[in-house]
Amino acid sequence: MRTILIPALLMAALAGCERKAQDNFGGSDPDSTSMTASSIEIVLARHTPKLMSIPGVVGTAQGEDEGKPCILVFVKEKDERIRREIPSTLEGYPVRIDEVGEIRPIR
């Protein structure tokens, strides 16, 4: 799965981060609007298991928006349910949802 994600991650990192209305992620992020002292790598590692448990999420990564870090969430299909379940920020980092379809290993 990682082999297929690498090109998608590189392309996605070049695009801007999309803002969504939702700011909290299941109550685990009391003040998601202010940047934390945690690096994006730590924030991503902390939230990836919860993000991956959402039906339709196929991967996560870190990206960049105008020189600032953002969190990328890759989904099979971007719909209203997914937009409601995935927060717009995680510990102060903006979150962008990218529709990538189903990801399968190369054989």
The pLDDT, as a whole number, for residue 66 is 79
pLDDT (0 to 100) of residue 105: 85
Q: Starting at the edge strand that comes first in sequence, how are the strands of the sheet with 57-65 ordered?
A: 57-65, 68-75, 93-99, 89-90
The overall longest dimension of the chain from CA atoms, in Å, is 44
Which tokens belong to 28?
């685990």
Q: For residue 77, give Cα distances in angstroms to 46, 65, 74.
A: 24, 22, 9
List per-block mean pLDDT (blocks of 10 residues) for the chain, which spans 107 residues: 43 40 44 63 97 97 89 96 96 95 86
Given a contact cutoff of 8 angstroms between Cβ atoms, the answer to whether 60 and 71 are in contact is: yes
Strands 68-75 and 57-65, by their bridges, are: antiparallel
Task: Write down all domains in the chain, each with its CATH number in brackets.
Answer: 2-99 (3.30.300)
Amino acid identity of 32?
S
CA 19 to chain centre: 11
In terms of phi and psi (left: phi > 0; alpha: psi -120 to 50; beta: otherwise), the region of 44 is alpha
